Protein backbone atom coordinates (compact mmCIF):
# COMPACT_ATOMS: atom_id res chain seq x y z
CA UNK A 1 0.00 0.00 0.00
CA UNK A 2 1.35 3.44 -0.92
CA UNK A 3 2.14 5.71 2.03
CA UNK A 4 -0.03 8.77 2.38
CA UNK A 5 1.79 12.08 2.16
CA UNK A 6 1.80 14.16 5.35
CA UNK A 7 -0.02 17.34 4.28
CA UNK A 8 -3.59 16.89 5.59
CA UNK A 9 -5.14 19.32 3.10
CA UNK A 10 -3.53 17.99 -0.04
CA UNK A 11 -3.49 14.51 -1.52
CA UNK A 12 -0.21 15.03 -3.34
CA UNK A 13 1.60 16.72 -0.46
CA UNK A 14 1.88 19.91 -2.52
CA UNK A 15 1.79 23.04 -0.31
CA UNK A 16 -1.29 25.19 -0.75
CA UNK A 17 -0.91 28.12 -3.06
CA UNK A 18 0.89 26.84 -6.19
CA UNK A 19 -0.52 28.69 -9.16
CA UNK A 20 -1.30 26.13 -11.83
CA UNK A 21 -3.08 27.27 -14.94
CA UNK A 22 -5.69 24.60 -15.46
CA UNK A 23 -6.86 25.08 -19.01
CA UNK A 24 -10.60 24.42 -18.97
CA UNK A 25 -10.95 25.07 -22.71
CA UNK A 26 -8.29 22.49 -23.51
CA UNK A 27 -10.02 20.08 -21.10
CA UNK A 28 -13.45 20.51 -22.73
CA UNK A 29 -11.93 20.30 -26.22
CA UNK A 30 -10.23 17.00 -25.32
CA UNK A 31 -13.51 15.61 -23.96
CA UNK A 32 -15.14 16.38 -27.30
CA UNK A 33 -12.28 14.77 -29.23
CA UNK A 34 -12.57 11.61 -27.13
CA UNK A 35 -16.31 11.53 -27.94
CA UNK A 36 -15.54 11.27 -31.66
CA UNK A 37 -14.14 7.76 -31.09
CA UNK A 38 -17.31 5.69 -31.38
CA UNK A 39 -19.69 8.68 -31.65
CA UNK A 40 -23.13 7.08 -32.02
CA UNK A 41 -24.72 9.70 -34.23
CA UNK A 42 -27.50 10.16 -31.63
CA UNK A 43 -26.93 13.27 -29.52
CA UNK A 44 -23.60 12.99 -27.73
CA UNK A 45 -23.90 9.20 -27.44
CA UNK A 46 -20.92 6.86 -27.70
CA UNK A 47 -20.53 3.20 -28.68
CA UNK A 48 -17.04 2.24 -27.52
CA UNK A 49 -17.12 -1.15 -25.79
CA UNK A 50 -13.91 -2.67 -24.45
CA UNK A 51 -11.47 -3.87 -27.15
CA UNK A 52 -13.60 -2.53 -30.02
CA UNK A 53 -11.85 -0.66 -32.81
CA UNK A 54 -13.15 2.63 -31.38
CA UNK A 55 -11.94 1.76 -27.89
CA UNK A 56 -8.41 0.94 -29.04
CA UNK A 57 -8.26 4.02 -31.29
CA UNK A 58 -9.34 6.18 -28.32
CA UNK A 59 -6.64 4.58 -26.16
CA UNK A 60 -4.00 5.27 -28.81
CA UNK A 61 -5.12 8.91 -28.94
CA UNK A 62 -5.03 9.15 -25.14
CA UNK A 63 -1.55 7.61 -25.12
CA UNK A 64 -0.34 10.30 -27.53
CA UNK A 65 -1.88 13.02 -25.33
CA UNK A 66 -0.16 11.52 -22.28
CA UNK A 67 3.19 11.56 -24.07
CA UNK A 68 2.65 15.20 -25.11
CA UNK A 69 1.99 15.98 -21.44
CA UNK A 70 5.36 14.52 -20.44
CA UNK A 71 3.97 11.24 -19.06
CA UNK A 72 5.14 7.78 -20.11
CA UNK A 73 2.24 5.93 -21.81
CA UNK A 74 2.17 2.26 -20.81
CA UNK A 75 -0.34 -0.48 -21.69
CA UNK A 76 -0.60 -3.59 -19.53
CA UNK A 77 -1.76 -7.03 -20.68
CA UNK A 78 -5.41 -6.15 -20.12
CA UNK A 79 -5.19 -2.97 -22.17
CA UNK A 80 -5.31 -0.71 -19.11
CA UNK A 81 -3.53 2.47 -20.21
CA UNK A 82 -1.35 4.39 -17.73
CA UNK A 83 0.37 7.75 -18.27
CA UNK A 84 3.11 7.41 -15.70
CA UNK A 85 4.93 10.32 -14.05
CA UNK A 86 8.44 9.78 -12.75
CA UNK A 87 8.89 8.66 -9.14
CA UNK A 88 6.10 8.20 -6.59
CA UNK A 89 2.96 9.90 -7.87
CA UNK A 90 -0.72 10.43 -7.23
CA UNK A 91 -2.90 8.43 -9.67
CA UNK A 92 -5.97 10.09 -11.20
CA UNK A 93 -8.30 8.65 -13.83
CA UNK A 94 -11.21 6.38 -14.65
CA UNK A 95 -12.07 4.40 -17.83
CA UNK A 96 -12.61 5.17 -21.52
CA UNK A 97 -14.60 2.10 -22.64
CA UNK A 98 -18.37 2.57 -22.86
CA UNK A 99 -21.56 0.59 -22.48
CA UNK A 100 -22.97 -0.93 -25.73
CA UNK A 101 -25.09 2.25 -25.82
CA UNK A 102 -23.33 4.80 -23.64
CA UNK A 103 -22.86 8.46 -22.96
CA UNK A 104 -19.87 10.67 -23.68
CA UNK A 105 -18.92 11.34 -20.05
CA UNK A 106 -19.15 8.02 -18.21
CA UNK A 107 -15.49 7.31 -17.45
CA UNK A 108 -14.23 9.72 -20.13
CA UNK A 109 -14.66 12.68 -17.78
CA UNK A 110 -12.38 11.20 -15.13
CA UNK A 111 -9.69 10.28 -17.65
CA UNK A 112 -9.64 13.63 -19.46
CA UNK A 113 -9.79 15.62 -16.20
CA UNK A 114 -6.85 13.56 -14.91
CA UNK A 115 -4.96 14.35 -18.09
CA UNK A 116 -5.59 18.07 -17.70
CA UNK A 117 -4.55 18.12 -14.03
CA UNK A 118 -1.39 16.13 -14.80
CA UNK A 119 -0.57 18.37 -17.77
CA UNK A 120 -1.09 21.56 -15.78
CA UNK A 121 1.01 20.14 -12.98
CA UNK A 122 3.89 19.30 -15.33
CA UNK A 123 3.67 22.83 -16.74
CA UNK A 124 3.86 24.22 -13.21
CA UNK A 125 6.80 22.00 -12.24
CA UNK A 126 5.00 19.44 -10.09
CA UNK A 127 3.75 17.57 -8.10
CA UNK A 128 3.99 14.20 -9.91
CA UNK A 129 0.59 13.08 -11.15
CA UNK A 130 -0.08 9.94 -13.19
CA UNK A 131 -3.17 9.15 -15.26
CA UNK A 132 -5.05 5.91 -15.95
CA UNK A 133 -7.78 4.70 -18.27
CA UNK A 134 -8.83 1.26 -17.04
CA UNK A 135 -10.11 -1.34 -19.49
CA UNK A 136 -13.58 -2.92 -19.51
CA UNK A 137 -14.96 -1.01 -16.56
CA UNK A 138 -18.34 -1.33 -18.26
CA UNK A 139 -18.37 -5.08 -17.92
CA UNK A 140 -18.36 -6.58 -21.39
CA UNK A 141 -16.75 -9.35 -19.35
CA UNK A 142 -18.49 -8.96 -16.02
CA UNK A 143 -17.56 -6.34 -13.49
CA UNK A 144 -14.78 -3.68 -13.84
CA UNK A 145 -12.49 -6.33 -15.32
CA UNK A 146 -9.34 -4.30 -16.13
CA UNK A 147 -8.87 -2.76 -12.70
CA UNK A 148 -9.87 -6.06 -11.06
CA UNK A 149 -6.99 -7.87 -12.79
CA UNK A 150 -4.52 -4.99 -12.21
CA UNK A 151 -5.18 -5.04 -8.47
CA UNK A 152 -5.11 -8.83 -8.08
CA UNK A 153 -8.83 -9.34 -7.46
CA UNK A 154 -9.10 -11.58 -10.52
CA UNK A 155 -6.35 -13.70 -12.06
CA UNK A 156 -5.53 -13.16 -15.71
CA UNK A 157 -6.30 -16.83 -16.38
CA UNK A 158 -9.78 -16.52 -14.83
CA UNK A 159 -10.37 -13.24 -16.69
CA UNK A 160 -9.34 -14.81 -20.00
CA UNK A 161 -11.96 -17.52 -19.56
CA UNK A 162 -14.82 -14.99 -19.23
CA UNK A 163 -17.13 -14.88 -22.25
CA UNK A 164 -19.22 -11.95 -23.51
CA UNK A 165 -22.85 -12.15 -24.65
CA UNK A 166 -21.68 -13.02 -28.19
CA UNK A 167 -19.57 -15.93 -26.99
CA UNK A 168 -16.19 -14.19 -27.46
CA UNK A 169 -13.69 -15.01 -24.69
CA UNK A 170 -11.75 -12.15 -23.08
CA UNK A 171 -8.49 -13.98 -23.80
CA UNK A 172 -9.38 -13.75 -27.48
CA UNK A 173 -10.67 -10.15 -27.37
CA UNK A 174 -7.62 -8.71 -25.62
CA UNK A 175 -5.34 -9.88 -28.42
CA UNK A 176 -6.09 -6.54 -30.08
CA UNK A 177 -3.85 -4.87 -27.50
CA UNK A 178 -1.05 -6.65 -29.38
CA UNK A 179 2.43 -5.20 -29.24
CA UNK A 180 1.29 -2.19 -27.24
CA UNK A 181 1.68 -4.36 -24.12
CA UNK A 182 4.69 -3.44 -22.04
CA UNK A 183 6.06 -4.40 -18.61
CA UNK A 184 3.51 -4.55 -15.75
CA UNK A 185 2.75 -1.24 -14.06
CA UNK A 186 3.49 -1.60 -10.33
CA UNK A 187 0.69 -0.13 -8.16
CA UNK A 188 3.23 0.54 -5.39
CA UNK A 189 4.55 3.60 -7.23
CA UNK A 190 1.21 5.37 -6.70
CA UNK A 191 0.43 7.01 -3.37
CA UNK A 192 -3.35 7.23 -3.79
CA UNK A 193 -6.11 7.15 -6.44
CA UNK A 194 -8.82 9.74 -7.04
CA UNK A 195 -11.59 9.29 -9.61
CA UNK A 196 -13.83 12.08 -10.89
CA UNK A 197 -17.07 10.76 -12.42
CA UNK A 198 -20.54 11.87 -13.38
CA UNK A 199 -23.08 10.92 -10.71
CA UNK A 200 -25.28 8.87 -13.08
CA UNK A 201 -28.26 9.42 -10.78
CA UNK A 202 -30.48 12.39 -9.98
CA UNK A 203 -29.38 13.35 -6.45
CA UNK A 204 -27.13 16.32 -7.32
CA UNK A 205 -29.27 17.55 -10.21
CA UNK A 206 -32.43 17.48 -8.10
CA UNK A 207 -30.72 19.28 -5.21
CA UNK A 208 -29.12 21.89 -7.45
CA UNK A 209 -25.71 20.85 -6.07
CA UNK A 210 -22.55 20.98 -8.15
CA UNK A 211 -20.25 18.44 -6.46
CA UNK A 212 -20.76 15.14 -4.65
CA UNK A 213 -18.02 13.79 -2.42
CA UNK A 214 -18.45 10.02 -2.33
CA UNK A 215 -18.62 8.28 1.03
CA UNK A 216 -18.76 4.68 -0.21
CA UNK A 217 -19.48 2.56 -3.27
CA UNK A 218 -22.14 -0.17 -3.24
CA UNK A 219 -21.35 -3.85 -3.75
CA UNK A 220 -22.59 -5.92 -6.67
CA UNK A 221 -23.34 -9.50 -7.68
CA UNK A 222 -23.78 -10.49 -11.31
CA UNK A 223 -24.27 -13.80 -13.09
CA UNK A 224 -25.70 -15.30 -16.26
CA UNK A 225 -28.54 -17.82 -15.84
CA UNK A 226 -29.83 -20.21 -18.49
CA UNK A 227 -33.27 -21.84 -18.36
CA UNK A 228 -33.81 -24.77 -20.71
CA UNK A 229 -37.19 -26.19 -21.68
CA UNK A 230 -38.35 -27.88 -24.87
CA UNK A 231 -38.39 -26.07 -28.19
CA UNK A 232 -41.62 -26.96 -29.96
CA UNK A 233 -44.32 -25.97 -32.44
CA UNK A 234 -46.30 -22.89 -31.35
CA UNK A 235 -49.51 -24.06 -33.06
CA UNK A 236 -49.69 -27.69 -32.00
CA UNK A 237 -48.24 -27.70 -28.49
CA UNK A 238 -50.99 -27.37 -25.89
CA UNK A 239 -50.37 -24.80 -23.21
CA UNK A 240 -50.47 -27.46 -20.50
CA UNK A 241 -47.75 -29.46 -22.22
CA UNK A 242 -45.29 -26.67 -22.86
CA UNK A 243 -41.87 -26.30 -21.28
CA UNK A 244 -41.50 -22.68 -22.34
CA UNK A 245 -38.18 -21.22 -21.17
CA UNK A 246 -39.26 -17.61 -21.74
CA UNK A 247 -42.39 -18.08 -19.62
CA UNK A 248 -40.06 -19.44 -16.97
CA UNK A 249 -38.15 -16.18 -16.97
CA UNK A 250 -41.38 -14.17 -16.81
CA UNK A 251 -42.60 -16.17 -13.80
CA UNK A 252 -39.20 -15.94 -12.10
CA UNK A 253 -38.95 -12.18 -12.56
CA UNK A 254 -42.50 -11.53 -11.32
CA UNK A 255 -42.09 -13.64 -8.19
CA UNK A 256 -38.64 -12.24 -7.49
CA UNK A 257 -39.91 -8.67 -7.48
CA UNK A 258 -42.49 -9.63 -4.85
CA UNK A 259 -40.15 -11.66 -2.64
CA UNK A 260 -37.18 -9.35 -2.66
CA UNK A 261 -39.36 -6.67 -1.12
CA UNK A 262 -39.05 -8.53 2.19
CA UNK A 263 -35.27 -8.17 2.37
CA UNK A 264 -34.37 -4.94 0.58
CA UNK A 265 -34.25 -1.20 1.36
CA UNK A 266 -35.21 1.57 -1.09
CA UNK A 267 -31.54 1.74 -2.14
CA UNK A 268 -31.28 -1.94 -3.11
CA UNK A 269 -31.52 -2.59 -6.86
CA UNK A 270 -31.77 -5.65 -9.09
CA UNK A 271 -31.80 -5.87 -12.88
CA UNK A 272 -32.40 -8.40 -15.63
CA UNK A 273 -30.76 -6.32 -18.35
CA UNK A 274 -29.69 -8.82 -21.00
CA UNK A 275 -32.01 -11.50 -22.35
CA UNK A 276 -31.37 -13.91 -25.23
CA UNK A 277 -34.33 -16.06 -26.23
CA UNK A 278 -33.65 -19.07 -28.42
CA UNK A 279 -34.49 -19.58 -31.12
CA UNK A 280 -36.38 -16.24 -30.98
CA UNK A 281 -39.06 -16.95 -33.58
CA UNK A 282 -42.78 -16.16 -33.56
CA UNK A 283 -43.97 -19.70 -34.19
CA UNK A 284 -41.64 -21.59 -31.90
CA UNK A 285 -42.12 -22.20 -28.19
CA UNK A 286 -38.80 -20.93 -26.82
CA UNK A 287 -36.54 -23.79 -25.80
CA UNK A 288 -33.97 -21.72 -24.02
CA UNK A 289 -33.52 -18.32 -22.42
CA UNK A 290 -30.25 -16.89 -21.18
CA UNK A 291 -30.34 -13.77 -19.02
CA UNK A 292 -28.19 -11.60 -16.78
CA UNK A 293 -29.17 -11.36 -13.12
CA UNK A 294 -27.54 -8.45 -11.30
CA UNK A 295 -28.14 -7.01 -7.85
CA UNK A 296 -26.49 -4.21 -5.87
CA UNK A 297 -26.57 -2.96 -2.29
CA UNK A 298 -24.33 -1.08 0.11
CA UNK A 299 -24.52 -3.91 2.68
CA UNK A 300 -22.70 -7.23 2.04
CA UNK A 301 -25.10 -9.23 4.26
CA UNK A 302 -28.07 -7.91 2.34
CA UNK A 303 -26.41 -8.91 -0.93
CA UNK A 304 -26.20 -12.45 0.47
CA UNK A 305 -29.85 -12.41 1.58
CA UNK A 306 -30.89 -11.24 -1.87
CA UNK A 307 -28.85 -14.07 -3.39
CA UNK A 308 -30.70 -16.62 -1.26
CA UNK A 309 -34.08 -15.29 -2.42
CA UNK A 310 -32.94 -15.41 -6.04
CA UNK A 311 -31.75 -19.02 -5.67
CA UNK A 312 -34.96 -20.18 -3.97
CA UNK A 313 -37.22 -18.49 -6.51
CA UNK A 314 -35.25 -19.86 -9.43
CA UNK A 315 -35.34 -23.42 -8.10
CA UNK A 316 -39.06 -23.17 -7.39
CA UNK A 317 -39.98 -21.90 -10.87
CA UNK A 318 -37.72 -24.44 -12.58
CA UNK A 319 -39.31 -27.32 -10.67
CA UNK A 320 -42.87 -26.12 -11.31
CA UNK A 321 -42.32 -25.55 -15.03
CA UNK A 322 -40.00 -28.51 -15.61
CA UNK A 323 -37.08 -26.39 -16.78
CA UNK A 324 -33.36 -27.02 -16.51
CA UNK A 325 -31.23 -24.37 -14.78
CA UNK A 326 -27.60 -23.55 -15.42
CA UNK A 327 -25.78 -20.74 -13.63
CA UNK A 328 -22.61 -19.01 -14.75
CA UNK A 329 -19.90 -17.87 -12.33
CA UNK A 330 -21.05 -15.45 -9.63
CA UNK A 331 -19.08 -12.26 -10.20
CA UNK A 332 -19.04 -9.55 -7.60
CA UNK A 333 -17.41 -6.74 -5.71
CA UNK A 334 -17.85 -5.87 -2.05
CA UNK A 335 -19.07 -2.46 -0.84
CA UNK A 336 -16.10 -0.14 -0.21
CA UNK A 337 -15.72 2.98 1.96
CA UNK A 338 -13.62 5.90 0.68
CA UNK A 339 -10.42 6.88 2.48
CA UNK A 340 -11.10 9.49 5.18
CA UNK A 341 -8.07 11.67 4.51
CA UNK A 342 -8.66 11.81 0.76
CA UNK A 343 -12.32 12.56 1.36
CA UNK A 344 -11.34 15.50 3.58
CA UNK A 345 -9.12 16.82 0.75
CA UNK A 346 -12.02 16.58 -1.70
CA UNK A 347 -14.40 18.21 0.76
CA UNK A 348 -11.98 21.13 1.23
CA UNK A 349 -11.72 21.41 -2.56
CA UNK A 350 -15.49 21.27 -2.97
CA UNK A 351 -16.00 24.00 -0.38
CA UNK A 352 -13.39 26.20 -2.11
CA UNK A 353 -14.78 25.72 -5.63
CA UNK A 354 -18.52 25.34 -4.96
CA UNK A 355 -19.17 26.81 -1.49
CA UNK A 356 -22.42 25.46 -0.07
CA UNK A 357 -23.17 23.61 -3.32
CA UNK A 358 -21.73 20.21 -2.54
CA UNK A 359 -22.76 17.20 -0.50
CA UNK A 360 -21.54 13.85 0.73
CA UNK A 361 -23.21 10.87 -0.93
CA UNK A 362 -22.86 7.13 -1.60
CA UNK A 363 -22.30 5.80 -5.12
CA UNK A 364 -24.95 3.43 -6.47
CA UNK A 365 -22.86 2.91 -9.60
CA UNK A 366 -19.76 0.78 -9.64
CA UNK A 367 -16.34 2.23 -10.25
CA UNK A 368 -12.74 1.15 -10.73
CA UNK A 369 -12.00 2.83 -7.38
CA UNK A 370 -13.57 -0.23 -5.69
CA UNK A 371 -10.80 -2.45 -7.05
CA UNK A 372 -8.02 0.10 -6.63
CA UNK A 373 -8.91 0.33 -2.90
CA UNK A 374 -7.19 -3.08 -2.54
CA UNK A 375 -3.79 -1.55 -3.22
CA UNK A 376 -3.91 2.13 -2.18
CA UNK A 377 -6.19 4.71 -0.54
CA UNK A 378 -8.98 5.86 -2.89
CA UNK A 379 -11.61 8.58 -3.09
CA UNK A 380 -14.17 9.81 -5.62
CA UNK A 381 -16.12 12.90 -6.49
CA UNK A 382 -19.20 13.39 -8.66
CA UNK A 383 -20.64 16.11 -10.83
CA UNK A 384 -24.37 16.16 -11.69
CA UNK A 385 -25.96 14.15 -14.47
CA UNK A 386 -28.72 16.13 -16.16
CA UNK A 387 -32.05 14.46 -15.37
CA UNK A 388 -30.11 11.67 -13.65
CA UNK A 389 -29.68 9.88 -17.00
CA UNK A 390 -26.65 7.72 -17.80
CA UNK A 391 -25.88 4.47 -19.66
CA UNK A 392 -27.92 6.11 -22.42
CA UNK A 393 -27.13 8.34 -25.38
CA UNK A 394 -28.89 11.25 -23.62
CA UNK A 395 -26.31 11.38 -20.81
CA UNK A 396 -24.99 14.92 -20.29
CA UNK A 397 -23.68 17.44 -17.74
CA UNK A 398 -23.54 21.25 -17.83
CA UNK A 399 -20.13 22.45 -18.94
CA UNK A 400 -19.84 24.64 -15.81
CA UNK A 401 -20.26 21.52 -13.67
CA UNK A 402 -17.65 19.60 -15.66
CA UNK A 403 -15.17 22.41 -15.06
CA UNK A 404 -16.11 22.61 -11.36
CA UNK A 405 -15.30 18.90 -11.05
CA UNK A 406 -11.94 19.46 -12.73
CA UNK A 407 -11.14 22.30 -10.36
CA UNK A 408 -12.06 20.32 -7.23
CA UNK A 409 -9.89 17.45 -8.44
CA UNK A 410 -6.95 19.80 -8.97
CA UNK A 411 -7.55 21.58 -5.69
CA UNK A 412 -7.60 18.32 -3.78
CA UNK A 413 -4.37 17.31 -5.48
CA UNK A 414 -2.78 20.39 -3.95
CA UNK A 415 -3.01 22.61 -7.01
CA UNK A 416 -4.81 25.91 -6.58
CA UNK A 417 -6.84 25.89 -9.76
CA UNK A 418 -6.94 28.93 -11.98
CA UNK A 419 -9.49 27.50 -14.41
C1 LIG B 1 -20.72 0.81 -14.11
O2 LIG B 1 -20.84 1.39 -15.15
C3 LIG B 1 -21.87 0.30 -13.42
O4 LIG B 1 -22.52 -0.57 -13.98
O5 LIG B 1 -22.18 0.80 -12.34
MN1 LIG C 1 -18.10 4.75 -15.34
MN1 LIG D 1 -20.82 3.03 -16.74
- 88-116 pLDDT, tens digit per residue, is 999 999 999 999 999 999 999 999 999 99
Of all ligands present, the nearest one to the C-alpha of 109 is 2
Residue 369 CA, ligand 1 centroid: distance in Å:
12
The reply to whether CATH 3.30.70.360 applies to domain 219-332 is: yes
State yes or no: 197 annotated in a binding site.
yes
pTM for this model (two decimals): 0.93
pLDDT tens-digit profile of 177-194? 999 999 999 999 999 999
Domains 24-218+335-413 and 219-332 share a fold: no
Has residue 214 got a pLDDT over 90? Answer: yes
- Output the pLDDT for position 20: 57
Strands 331-333 and 358-363: unpaired
Domain boundaries, the chain: 24-218+335-413, 219-332
Q: pLDDT, tens digit, for every residue of 361-372?
A: 999 999 999 999
For residues 56 and 71, what is the distance between their CA atoms, to the nearest angstrom? 19
Residue 106, annotated as binding a ligand? yes
Q: Which atom of ligand 1 is nearest to the CA of 366?
A: 5
What CATH number does the domain located at 24-218+335-413 have?
3.40.630.10
What average pLDDT does this structure show over 157-177? 97
Site residues for ligand 1, CB cut-off 6 Å: 138, 365-366
For the beta carbon of residue 208, count every other beta carbon within 10 angstroms. 8
Convert the pLDDT of each residue in 266-322 to its tens digit.
999 999 999 999 999 999 999 999 999 999 999 999 999 999 999 999 999 999 999
pLDDT at 3: 32
Amino acid sequence: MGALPPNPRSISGQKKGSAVALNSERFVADLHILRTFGASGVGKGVVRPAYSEADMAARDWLASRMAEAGLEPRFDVMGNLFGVAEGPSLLLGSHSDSQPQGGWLDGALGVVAALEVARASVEAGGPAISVVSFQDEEGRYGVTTGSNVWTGGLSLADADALVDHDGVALGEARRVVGDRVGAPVDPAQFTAFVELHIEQGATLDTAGAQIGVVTDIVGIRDRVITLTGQQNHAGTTAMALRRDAFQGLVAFSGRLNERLRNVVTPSSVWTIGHVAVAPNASSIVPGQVRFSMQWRDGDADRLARMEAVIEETLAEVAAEMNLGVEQGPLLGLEPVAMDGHLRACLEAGAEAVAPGKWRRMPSGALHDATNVARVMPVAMLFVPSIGGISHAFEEDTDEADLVAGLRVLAHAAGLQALA
